[in-house]
A and B are shown apart, each in its own frame.
Chain A
Amino acid sequence: MSNPVEQFQIHPLHPSLQFHIGSVDVSFTNSALWMLIGVVLSTVLLSVASKKRALVPGRMQMFAESLYEFIANMVRDNIGSEGRRYFPLIFTLFVMVMLGNTMGLIPYSFTYTSHLIVTLAMAMLIFVMVLVLGIARHGFHFFSFFLPPGVPVWLIPLIVPIEILSFAIRPVTLSVRLFANMIAGHIMLKVFAGFSVGMVAAFGTWGYAAGAVPMLFNTVLIGFELLIAFLQAYVFTVLSCIYLKDTIHIDH
């Protein structure tokens, strides 16, 4: 258990859950299990919380409404009133990322947001949406995106490739940011936990006292990781909002 990257290992849960679509292996893995747990958890929680529809909300309803207002404000601030149509998407994105990040902090769980392919898939969803909806809405004008107004003619050959690159790299930065934060945090936690175990193995009974030190450190780290889990979900969704804004109006 002391290899800190073993926690990222994916394996099918059971031979009976090994599925194939054509020749593609889509088996139900531990990663899929935690995605499913997240789906069930969020669906049940939010359904129960929004079922009562009380005028004076209870604790659960208050929580659901706070989350709703939080995302609604984020969408309104970053996209504008026209961003309402992206609200369910951003909400789902936030819940998915947030749950992946936080559930991953439960010992023996699996952090699906620590896998680049997962974060990349979500980032690509946003990127493709921006591209398709942007061109559908603005037509050829969408490509003026790559040419900010007021650029001197002699700078155009330099500016346009830079703008294209900065646009094309968006899904990469968006996904790598989340993935890297998650993997770093979890490795760090595992390394410190490994210290504790290692000390017990090395010093016997006294090792338990010595092992308490890295454990204490881990306790603090868990707090930080919770903050990062929220912060990265927030950053991911805010940036998605900013990117989706281009489908509505092109800034320059």
Chain B
Amino acid sequence: MNMIRHIAGFSVAGAVYFASAAYSFAGEHAEAVSDHVATVEGAVATHAPEHAASSGLPQFDPTWFASQVFWLAVCFAFLYVVFAKKTLPNISSTIDRRRQQIESDIETTESLTNDSEAILEEYERNLKNSQAKARAIVVGMVQNLKADADIVQKKFRDKAEKTIAKTETVIEEAKQTALQEVQTIAADVAIATVDKLLGAKVDQKVAISVVKSLVSGKQKMPSPVQKKTTKKAA
């Protein structure tokens, strides 16, 4: 504000200086062409005869003060009314309308951006969910298959083991049967031998028990022949 006052003050001083300088300069010039001045003064005199004598600036001639102020007031008042009632509200409403339009456009853009961001987010969430689901399905399948395989394997193993056990018992039974048959045969042979050699009858049961005891003590015997002899001796 101070600056404006300074500039204003300066411009006044400058303007007044220029005015006075130019005016005095102009005055000298006017003297040089005095015939022109004469015609000018003549013209001035015809326009304002009562002030022809005072050849000062027309600005200080009060003849037209009232007229100037009057027409200025008329023009100023007319302009003021036109501007205040019509032009300025028009311009201001146009500017406001544009501002509102721009603001609503910006709002629309923002809401659209938000919408698209929400959609993108949802899409990503769905993608993540479906990926997790797929992984769960795969894992579940693998587990199921594994469990199924385990069951099948177990069944097979049980079956095999049962078969093995059965076979083993069969073998064992066969072994036992064979052994008993061997013992019976041996007892029979012994009975027959004793009968032939000694003419004595040996009870089959005794013979079998003897054979059995011989078989059980077999491990201690150096040889079956020796055993036989020992038994014979006995």
Residues of chain A touching chain B, judged by Cβ–Cβ distance below 8 Å, are 1-6, 8-11, 21, 24-29, 31-32, 35-36, 38-39, 42-43, 46-47, 50-51, 53-55, 57, 61, 64-65, 68-69, 87-89, 91-92, 95-96, 112, 114-118, 121-122, 125, 173, 176-177, 179-181, 183-185, 187-188, 190-191, 194-195, 198, 201, 231-232, 235, 238-239, 242
Give chain A residues whose Cβ lies under 8 Å from the Cβ of B37. 2-3
Closest 4 CB pairs of A and B: A32-B71, A88-B84, A180-B15, A184-B19
Q: How far is the CA of A37 from the CA of B68 in the complex (A)?
A: 14
Name the interface residues of B37-53: CB closer than 8 Å to any CB of A.
37, 40, 43-44, 47-48
Judge if B123 is at the interface, Cβ distance under 8 Å: no
Q: Nearest A residue to B35 by beta-carbon distance? A: A2
Interface majority SS (helix, strand, loop, mixed), chain B:
helix
Give chain A residues whose Cβ lies under 8 Å from the Cβ of B57. 5, 8, 183
Give chain B residues whose Cβ lies under 8 Å from the Cβ of A92. 76, 79-80, 83-84
Could you say which interface size class chain B belongs to? 35 or more
Q: Which segment, of B20-28, B209-217, B221-229, faces chain A?
A: B20-28
Q: Nearest B residue to A32 by beta-carbon distance? A: B71
Interface string of B54-96 (1 = CB under 8 A from A): 0001111101111111111101101110111011101111110
Given A8-B57, A8-B59, A91-B83, A26–B71 Cβ distance below 8 Å?
Answer: yes
Q: How far is the CA of A112 from the CA of B15 in the complex (A)?
A: 17
Judge if B18 is at the interface, Cβ distance under 8 Å: yes
Given A46-B83, A176-B12, A184-B15, A27–B67 Cβ distance below 8 Å?
Answer: yes
Give chain B residues whose Cβ lies under 8 Å from the Cβ of A194. 26, 29
B59:A183 contact, CB within 8 angstroms: yes
The listed residue (A29, A121, A180, A242) touching B1 by CB distance below 8 A is A242
Q: Which segment, of B3-11, B133-141, B156-164, faces chain A?
A: B3-11
Q: Nearest A residue to B82 by beta-carbon distance? A: A43
Judge if B109 is at the interface, Cβ distance under 8 Å: no
Q: Nearest A residue to B95 by beta-carbon distance? A: A65
B22:A10 contact, CB within 8 angstroms: no
CB distance from B102 to the nearest CB of A (A): 9
The listed residue (B22, B36, B64, B91) touching A2 by CB distance below 8 A is B36
Given A2-B30, A29-B64, A121–B18 Cβ distance below 8 Å?
Answer: no
B40:A3 contact, CB within 8 angstroms: yes
Q: How far is the CA of A92 from the CA of B32 in the complex (A)?
A: 44
Give chain B residues whose Cβ lies under 8 Å from the Cβ of A46. 83, 87, 91
CB distance from A36 to the nearest CB of B (A): 6
B98:A55 contact, CB within 8 angstroms: yes
Judge if B16 is at the interface, Cβ distance under 8 Å: yes
The listed residue (B8, B59, B79, B90) touching A39 by CB distance below 8 A is B79
B11:A95 contact, CB within 8 angstroms: no
Give chain A residues whose Cβ lies under 8 Å from the Cβ of B8. 173, 177, 235, 239
Give chain A residues whose Cβ lies under 8 Å from the Cβ of B64. 10, 25, 27, 29, 31, 117
The listed residue (B16, B26, B60, B87) touching A180 by CB distance below 8 A is B16
B91:A6 contact, CB within 8 angstroms: no
